[in-house]
């Protein structure tokens, strides 16, 4: 009863807080898109990510993810640092389904199942039940189904409360595709809760005293729900061979020196030796040197970004040891939040960047990369000092009515399922192993 | 008589399997967690020293670096999440801490959102569960097994029995805390890359005291529930539900509530404010830029450039500072709302003592701004008196971090509430036990 009431309250709170924040996000997004539509430029554009309508299911760390990307010619883009509005607040998990189900429902399943066998053994009723012509397999199956039914009923009640709230206050979210995603997440949740039911039954059959069963189960729960996810990031930084940020940062100056200044100095020496006939020739060679250097600088930053995201991915993979993480990542894949959601958007940014460059090429004849640092120098030519600057992109002044529009595509449901398949399979494997162990142990346990 | 009860109860606890298993888990976690955090700290500290040496200022742009907090190995707080470097120049007032590669939050959101596995986490989540496991059947189990009425049939006053249970329970709890704490402290002391000052030791002692206070609150709660229920299974169920609510659900809800009750201005609003300021300064900036862009700028041109840009940046900084103040107000609301949860109070106390909370960050930023102001002054000096400028140098970056005494003053409200928790629940348990039907 308490479980039911608490579930309804939690899901209602989840629904209400989501609707509030979603409204704000959508408002901000629409304003940004309207502004981008006015600010058409061949130097810089801003691409905004559509707010995900299913964040109440799996937030995926949304508050820390960028929502706007700045795109410049020749495929240079970077994320605008998200408005770090909440970095001062205490670190708590986002209040989404993956928290409620992943952290709390698993705990409640444990509380329901821990004394299923050991409690009956202590009360003396287990041997009484088994003295009837009921097989051990049937008994354990019945206990499992009882636990699952209670949890499923609570889950459905909670989901229903959520859906009703969203349906009344923000009905545009409940499209057919989104509802299907929701149903898949519920199936996922059942698989997750089921493995904890088997775990509880297993420990209950193995350990005769209920209080010890509960202690052991709570230890496992803390390990899965909290310790593994929290330590995987720190562990990964320790184990990974990617360079630390400071090691990369100290290579920045030498890289600029090697890729840009050394070449410019060489051009200066060539100019003094009289190898160039005209000033334009000097500038043309310098421009090319700057451009090549900027490309190399780009690669330098991209390599760093890639090593960081690889490390993040490795940390995520490490935390997949915990079924709670499997559930969370599968939910994130299904609703396209989290790093998969960000990658999906970045892919579209890259595609759009090609269209953008093609447009610039058509209108201006050449796409020029924005310089990272606005570098400039001077060389002596024919006894005169001439200033050299890294080239900057030009603004097209003509008619921009055919400016390419950035239209964000949602992901297909099938793609989400495909991404979640691995994690779902992991949950099923946990289920099968724990079920087999629970049955094996119970079949041999002394019930007297 | 009291001594007999206390000794007997303590022996009961020490012989029980659940206590020994729980203690073992606590020791392992204290060792593993502290070791991991120590290694992480050592690496970050080395990064800090390397950065100070190598990513030097180039006269035009200066960088300040944030030293990782040594006590963050016990209570990580925000220490790891905030950036390590802050760049500034005359044209750029200090705004955000970033990583060394100019990136924002490179470490990315953590998978679970929970804070680290440090000593504070161990006490807040694991030891509090252990305490509940010890306290839940203190009275209710004796009632069901019938030994309570046997004990009371002797000339034993009720209050002495309950007091004995409380004292013995507290001694065992504090003993377990001491063991886990000793494990963590030994690891810290014998690590060569960590150096403590005397003030740090005082802070560690205070952190252990706060942990003791926190665990006592849970023990008193456990005792109260054990007194008021008749069956151990029921008291355990109730206590676990309460634990989940107080430690996991309520802190989360109060942060969510604070976010929604106190809304911050959007990014766009801030950008608009800054655009307005930019417009106001535009004529000055234009003139200043023109002055230095021409062939041979005079000292007056350079001074004008310095003053125009630093003036604009000072205004921008005011906008950022105002936004920062509102963020802090939102955080204070979250702290206030979560005062009902001993876990949240304990977390606040530990982070404050370890200097890994937001107040420390704010003092750092204030110090950075003061340094920026000095840098702007020196930039003028460089123009007006180049010889004198060459002889002088920019002072080292420092900021006023609070002393142990100031830390105590700022945490006493939370500590008081924790103490009240213990007292209230013990008084309730006491009264309940005096009226209890023991048959």
Q: Give residue-wise pLDDT tens across range A126-146.
A: 888 888 888 899 999 999 999
Contact A87 B81 (CB under 8 A): yes
Report how far apart, in Å, the C-alpha atoms of B112 and of each of A95, A98, B116, B159, B249 are. 11, 10, 10, 45, 14
The CA distance from B352 to A158, in Å, is: 38
Query: Which residues does chain A have within 8 Å of residue B107's beta carbon, measured at their own beta carbons?
Result: 233
| A305 part of a folded domain | no
Asked if residue B126 lies in contact with residue A222, where contact means CB atoms within 8 angstroms, the answer is yes
Q: Which of B314, B384, B304, B281 has its CA nearest to residue B91?
A: B314
The CA distance from A408 to A425, in Å, is: 30
pLDDT in tens, B354-397: 999 999 999 999 999 999 999 998 888 888 888 888 888 878 88
Helix (H) or strand (E) holding A173: none
Query: Which residues does chain B have within 8 Å of residue A214's beta carbon, measured at their own beta carbons?
Result: 236
The CA distance from B439 to B434, in Å, is: 13
pLDDT in tens, A83-111: 555 788 888 888 899 999 999 999 999 99
Tell me the shortest Cα–Cα distance from A210 to chain B, in angstroms.
9
Residues 6+ apart with CB under 8 A from B265: B323, B326
Contact A83 B256 (CB under 8 A): no
Total domains, chain A? 1
Contact A244 B54 (CB under 8 A): no
Q: How confident is the model at residue A338 (pLDDT cuts 50, 70, 90)?
A: confident
The CA distance from B71 to A102, in Å, is: 31
Domain that holds residue A224: 2-245+322-354+416-444
Query: Which residues does chain A have within 8 Å of residue B236's beta carbon, measured at their own beta carbons?
Result: 211, 214
Contact B55 A250 (CB under 8 A): yes
Contact B113 A107 (CB under 8 A): no
Q: Give bridge partners of residue B86 from the DSSP assignment.
A: B64
- Residue B367 tokens, joined: 């110090």
Tell me the shortest Cα–Cα distance from B184 to chain A, in angstroms.
17
Contact A234 B40 (CB under 8 A): yes
Domain boundaries, chain B: 2-434
Asked if residue B79 lies in contact with residue B72, where contact means CB atoms within 8 angstroms, the answer is yes
Residue A103 is classified by DSSP as I
Query: Which residues does chain B have within 8 Å of residue A216's beta carbon, measured at their own beta carbons?
Result: 21
Query: Which residues does chain A have within 8 Å of residue B263's beta carbon, measured at their own beta carbons?
Result: 24
The CA distance from B275 to B122, in Å, is: 48
Residues 6+ apart with CB under 8 A from A310: A240, A242
Contact B111 A93 (CB under 8 A): no
| A158 part of a folded domain | yes
Helix, strand, coil distribution of chain A in percent, nearest 5: 70, 5, 25
Q: How confident is the model at residue B104 (pLDDT cuts 50, 70, 90)?
A: very low
Burial of A446 (0-12, 13-18, 19+ CB in 10 A): exposed
Query: Which residues does chain B have within 8 Å of residue A103's beta carbon, measured at their own beta carbons?
Result: 248
The CA distance from A266 to B355, in Å, is: 52
Q: Is pLDDT of A446 > 90? A: no
Beta strands in B15-133 (DSSP E): 61-65, 85-89
Apex B167 CA angle, B162 and B170, nearest 5:
120
Written as one string, the DSSP assignment of A385-427 is EEEEE---PPPP-S--TTPPP--PPPPPHHHHHHHHHHHHHHH
Q: Is pLDDT of A321 > 80? A: yes
Asked if residue B260 lies in contact with residue A21, where contact means CB atoms within 8 angstroms, the answer is yes
Beta strands A384-389; B61-65: pairing state: unpaired
Apex B267 CA angle, B82 and A340, nearest 5:
65
Asked if residue A335 lies in contact with residue A57, where contact means CB atoms within 8 angstroms, the answer is yes
Residue showing tokens 């993480």: A325
Query: Which residues does chain A have within 8 Å of residue B103's beta carbon, measured at their own beta carbons?
Result: 245, 308
Beta strands in A38-184 (DSSP E): 45-48, 68-72, 76-79
Among A20, A86, A107, the residue with its CB nearest the CB of B244 is A107
The CA distance from B418 to B424, in Å, is: 10
* pLDDT score recorded for residue A82: 63
Q: Which of B:93-132 have CB within 8 Å of A?
A: 96, 99-101, 103-117, 121, 125-126, 129
Mean pLDDT of chain B: 87
Among B18, B112, B264, the residue with its CB nearest the CB of A93 is B112
- Residue B352 tokens, joined: 């404050």
Test mutation, B33, B102, B110, B234, chain A, max A CBs within 10 A: B110
Percent of chain A with pLDDT over 70: 99
Query: Which residues does chain A have within 8 Å of residue B331's beta carbon, measured at their own beta carbons?
Result: 88-90
Asked if residue A53 lies in contact with residue A136, where contact means CB atoms within 8 angstroms, the answer is no
Q: What ipTM was predicted for this assembly? A: 0.89
Q: Which of B:352-411 have CB within 8 Å of A?
A: 358
How many CA atoms are closer than 13 Å to the CA of B360, on its beta-carbon side? 25
Helix (H) or strand (E) holding A257: none
Percent of chain A with pLDDT over 90: 39
Q: Which of B:141-200 have CB within 8 Å of A?
A: none
* pLDDT score recorded for residue B27: 92
Q: What is the pTM of this model?
A: 0.91
Q: Is pLDDT of A178 > 80? A: yes
Query: Which residues does chain A have within 8 Å of residue B258's beta carbon, measured at their own beta carbons?
Result: 89
Contact A222 B54 (CB under 8 A): no
Q: How confident is the model at residue A236 (pLDDT cuts 50, 70, 90)?
A: confident
């Amino acid at each position: 009863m308490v479980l039911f009431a608490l579930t309804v309250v939690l899901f209602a709170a989840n629904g209400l807080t989501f609707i509030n924040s979603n409204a704000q996000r959508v408002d901000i997004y629409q304003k940004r898109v309207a502004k981008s539509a006015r600010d058409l430029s061949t130097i810089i554009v801003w691409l905004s990510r559509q707010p995900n309508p299913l964040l109440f299911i799996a937030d995926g760390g949304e508050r820390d993810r960028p929502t706007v990307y700045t795109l410049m010619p020749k495929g240079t883009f970077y994320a605008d640092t998200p408005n770090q509005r909440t970095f001062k607040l205490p670190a708590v998990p986002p209040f989404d389904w993956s928290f409620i189900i992943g952290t709390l429902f698993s705990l409640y399943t444990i509380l329901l199942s821990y004394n299923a066998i050991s409690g009956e053994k202590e009360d003396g009723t287990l041997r009484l039940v088994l003295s009837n012509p009921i097989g051990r397999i049937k008994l354990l199956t019945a206990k499992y189904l009882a636990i699952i039914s209670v949890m499923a009923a609570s889950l459905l009640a909670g989901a229903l409360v959520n859906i009703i709230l969203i349906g009344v206050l923000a009905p545009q979210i409940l499209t057919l595709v989104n509802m299907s995603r929701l149903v898949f997440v519920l199936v996922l949740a059942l698989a997750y809760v089921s493995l904890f039911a088997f775990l509880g039954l297993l420990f209950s059959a193995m350990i005769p005293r209920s209080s010890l069963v509960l202690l052991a189960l709570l230890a496992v729960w803390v390990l899965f729900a909290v310790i593994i996810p929290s330590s995987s990031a720190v562990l990964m930084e320790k184990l990974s061979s990617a360079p630390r940020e400071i090691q990369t940062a100290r290579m920045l100056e030498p890289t600029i020196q090697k890729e840009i200044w050394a070449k410019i100095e060489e051009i200066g020496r060539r100019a003094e030796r009289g190898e160039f006939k005209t000033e334009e020739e000097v500038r043309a060679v310098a421009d090319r040197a700057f451009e090549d250097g900027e490309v190399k600088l780009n690669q330098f930053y991209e390599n760093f970004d890639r090593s960081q995201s690889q490390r993040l991915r490795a940390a995520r993979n490490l935390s997949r040891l915990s079924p709670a993480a499997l559930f969370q990542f599968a939910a994130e894949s299904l609703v396209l939040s989290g790093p998969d959601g960000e990658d999906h958007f970045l892919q579209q940014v890259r595609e759009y960047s090609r269209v953008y460059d093609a447009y610039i090429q058509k209108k201006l004849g050449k796409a020029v990369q924005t310089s990272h640092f606005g570098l400039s120098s001077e060389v002596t030519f024919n006894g005169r000092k001439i200033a050299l600057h890294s080239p900057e992109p030009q603004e097209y002044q003509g008619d921009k009515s055919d400016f390419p529009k950035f239209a964000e595509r949602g992901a297909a449901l099938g793609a989400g399922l495909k991404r979640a398949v691995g994690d779902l399979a992991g949950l099923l494997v946990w289920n099968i192993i724990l079920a087999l162990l629970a049955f094996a142990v119970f079949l041999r346990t002394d019930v007297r | 008589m009291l001594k007999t009860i206390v000794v007997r109860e303590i022996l009961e606890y020490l012989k029980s399997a659940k206590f020994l298993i729980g203690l073992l888990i606590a020791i392992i976690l204290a060792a593993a967690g502290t070791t991991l955090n120590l290694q992480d700290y050592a690496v970050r500290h080395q990064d800090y020293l390397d950065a100070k040496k190598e990513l030097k200022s180039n006269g035009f742009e200066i960088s300040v670096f944030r030293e990782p907090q040594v006590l963050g190995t016990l209570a990580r707080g925000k220490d790891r999440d905030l950036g390590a470097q802050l760049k500034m120049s005359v044209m750029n007032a200090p705004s955000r801490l970033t990583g060394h590669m100019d990136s924002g939050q490179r470490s990315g959101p953590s998978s679970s959102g929970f804070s680290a596995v440090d000593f504070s986490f161990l006490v807040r989540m694991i030891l509090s569960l252990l305490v509940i496991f010890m306290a839940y059947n203190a009275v209710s189990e004796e009632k069901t097994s019938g030994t309570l009425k046997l004990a009371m049939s002797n000339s034993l006053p009720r209050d002495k029995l309950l007091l004995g249970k409380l004292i013995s329970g507290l001694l065992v709890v504090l003993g377990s805390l001491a063991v886990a704490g000793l494990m963590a402290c030994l690891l810290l002391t014998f690590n060569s890359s960590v150096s403590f000052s005397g003030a740090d030791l005082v802070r560690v002692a205070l952190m252990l005291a706060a942990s003791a206070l926190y665990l006592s609150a849970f023990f008193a709660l456990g005792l109260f529930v054990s007194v008021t229920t008749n069956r151990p299974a029921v008291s355990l169920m109730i206590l676990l539900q309460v634990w989940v609510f107080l430690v996991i659900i309520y802190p989360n809800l109060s942060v969510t509530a604070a976010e929604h009750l106190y809304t911050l201005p959007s990014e766009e609003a801030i950008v608009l404010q800054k655009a307005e300021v930019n417009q106001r300064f535009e004529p000055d900036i234009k003139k200043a830029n023109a002055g230095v862009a021409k062939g041979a700028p005079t000292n007056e041109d350079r001074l004008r450039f310095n003053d125009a840009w630093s003036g604009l940046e000072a205004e921008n900084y005011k906008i950022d500072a105002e936004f920062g103040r509102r963020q802090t107000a939102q955080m204070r609301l979250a702290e206030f709302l979560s005062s009902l949860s001993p876990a949240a109070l304990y977390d606040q106390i530990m982070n404050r003592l370890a200097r890994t909370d937001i107040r420390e960050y704010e003092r750092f930023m204030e110090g950075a701004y003061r340094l920026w102001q000095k840098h702007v002054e020196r930039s003028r000096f460089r123009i007006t008196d180049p010889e004198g400028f060459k002889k002088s140098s920019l002072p080292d970056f420092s900021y006023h971090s609070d002393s142990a005494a100031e830390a105590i003053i700022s945490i006493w409200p939370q500590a008081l509430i924790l103490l009240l928790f213990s007292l209230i629940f013990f008084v309730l348990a006491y009264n309940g036990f005096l009226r209890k039907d023991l048959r």
